[in-house]
Amino acid sequence: MTIEIELKFIATPQAAGKLADLVAAWPHQHQPARELTNIYFETDDNQLRRWDMGLRIRGVDKRYEMTLKAAGKTLGGLHQRPEYNVDLSEPTLDIAQLPADIWPQGTDIAALQSRLQPLFTTHFQRETWLITIGDSEIELAFDQGDVTAGDLSEPLCEIELELKRGERKDILAIARQLVAQGGLRMGSLSKAARGYQLAQGNPPRQLRPFPLLKAGTKATVEEGMVAAMSAGLSHWQYHEEVWLRGNAAAQDAVREALDVLRQAFSLFGALVPRKASSALRQQLTTLEETLVNDEVDATSFCLSSLAVETQLALTHWLVESQWQQWVDVKGQAKLQGSFKRFGDIMLSRINADLRETFSTVKQPNEYRDKATRLSRQLLAVHLLAGAYPQEDVAVWLAPWQQLLSAIHEQQEAGLAWLTTQALKQPPFWLTSGSAR
C-alpha cells in the first residue's frame, strides 16, 4: 500500500501548451506521451462506490496493472488516498491478488469478483515530467483524451501533480506557479467520478443546500474549524462544476459557499489571530463582490486567477495548518478544547444577536438591511449544530429561513408575524452556562 498524494487541475488547451516551457525552470526528467487505457469495474448496485473505493486495470505498452483506491480525503484539489497496486500479465481482473484485509469485514471476495463488471473506460495520452524541488520529487502529468461509458463520453484535459517523495509544501509550491500562468482550475472531480456520472446516463448535477456540518462527537475546536472550511470549499467546487456545465442558478450557491468560508473565519477569529488569515479573507471578499453582478460569466469567474489562487491558498492553509505559527500557548489550548462546547457557546451568542437584531425591527427597509446578517448567522448555525439531531435543528431554523425568504421576496405583510414565530423558538442546544 502507498498513500497517493495528488493535486488535480482541469486545464484549457492553451494552458497545457505552456507546460514544457514552465517545467524547464526546474531540474526534471521528461517522458514523452504514451497511450493509457483504464477499465473501471463496479457491481450492478455500485458496491465499491458505497465503500468509497475505485477499482481499475490500466494498460500501457502491453503492460497491465490492477489498482484499488480506498477511502481517503479530498481537500480542494488535493487528493490523499490509500492505493494498492498489483502487476498483471494480462488485462483480467483478479481481486484475490489484493490484500484480504482491505475489504470490509465479512466480504466474500469470490462472490464480489463474480459481480464485478466493466463500467466505464478512460483513454488518454499521458506526458510526464519528474521534477526535483528541494528534497522532493514530484511527477507532473498531462493527460488528454476522454472518459467513456456506453454511448456517452466527455473530454479529459488534466494536469496532475503527484508527490513521489518529500514534502507536501513542495507540491503546493509548484501548483502556485502553474496556477499563476492562468487557464487552470482545481479539479475536485476525479476521472472515476466523471465516469460514474456518465454510467448513470449523465443526468444534470443538482444544486445542493449547504448541509449541517458533522465534525465528530469528540472533535476539537481546531478539527471543527478545518471541517467547516473544508465543507465550504467543497460546496464551492461542487457548484462551480454545476455552474460551468450550464446551470446559471449555481452562481448563487458559489456565492453562498464564499459566505460560508467568510463566516467560518469570523466564528474562529477569536482563536486564530486575524493576521493569520487576512490575505485569504480579503480574497474571499473580493470574489463575493464580483458575484453581486448576475451577468458574471461562469468560465471567466471560475478560471480567473483570483478564484483559482484563492482555492489553492485555502487548501495550502488547511493542509499545512498555517495558522499554527500565529497561535500562542493559550490559543493552542483553546483550539484543543471541545468543538461541541465551543458550538454551544457560539450558538447562544448567535441566538442573542438575532433576538437583539430583530426584536425592534418594524419597517420593510429595516428588514432588508438585516437580511445579509441573518443569512450569515444561519450559515453559522449549519457549521456549529451538527452534534444535535437534524430534525431539532431544522425546527429551529425553519421560521428564520422563512423570514429570510419573505424578506428577499418582499412579502412585507407577513414579516412581523414570521419574526414573532422565530423569536419564540427555544434553543435546541445546551446554553453556554451549562455546556459540558
β partners of residue 67:
56, 85
Q: How far apart are CA 242 and CA 431, in angstroms?
A: 39
Q: What is the per-residue pLDDT for 333? A: 95
pLDDT band at 435 (very low <50, low <70, confident <90, very high): very low
End-to-end distance of the chain based on CA atoms, in angstroms?
A: 41
Query: What sign does the dihedral 201-202-207-212 (CA atoms) show?
Result: positive
Angle between helices 364-384 and 390-408 (to 10 degrees): 150
Instruction: Say if residues 138 and 164 touch (Cβ distance below 8 Å).
Output: yes
The proportion of the chain whose per-residue pLDDT surpasses 90, expressed as a percent, equals: 79
Least confident stretch, 37-41, 136-140, 192-196, 374-378: 192-196
Least confident stretch, 76-90, 217-231, 284-298, 344-358: 76-90
- Beta strand pairing call for 2-11 and 73-75: unpaired
Q: How far apart are CA 70 and CA 403, in angstroms?
A: 44
Q: What is the per-residue pLDDT for 433? A: 44
Q: What is the per-residue pLDDT for 236? A: 97
Does pLDDT of 432 surpass 70? no
pLDDT band at 77 (very low <50, low <70, confident <90, very high): low
Does pLDDT of 407 surpass 90? yes
Does pLDDT of 125 surpass 90? yes
Q: Which residue has the cell 421560521?
A: 399
How high is the mean pLDDT of the chain?
92
Q: What is the per-residue pLDDT for 431? A: 65
The proportion of the chain whose per-residue pLDDT surpasses 70, expressed as a percent, equals: 98
Does pLDDT of 434 surpass 50? no
Query: What element of type H or E holds 428?
Result: none
| 337-384 tens-digit pLDDT | 999 999 999 999 999 999 999 999 889 999 999 999 999 999 999 999
Does pLDDT of 43 surpass 70? yes
Question: pLDDT: is 75 or 71 the higher one?
Answer: 71
pLDDT band at 72 (very low <50, low <70, confident <90, very high): confident
Pairs from 23-28 (Cβ < 8 Å, separation ≥ 24)? 23/129, 23/131, 23/140, 25/177, 26/131, 26/132, 26/133, 26/174, 27/131, 27/132, 28/129, 28/130, 28/131, 28/132
- Kindly write down the DSSP assignment for every residue of 307-340, as one continuous string: HHHHHHHHHHHHHTTGGGGG--HHHHHHHTSBHH
Q: What is the per-residue pLDDT for 436? A: 36
Does pLDDT of 417 surpass 70? yes
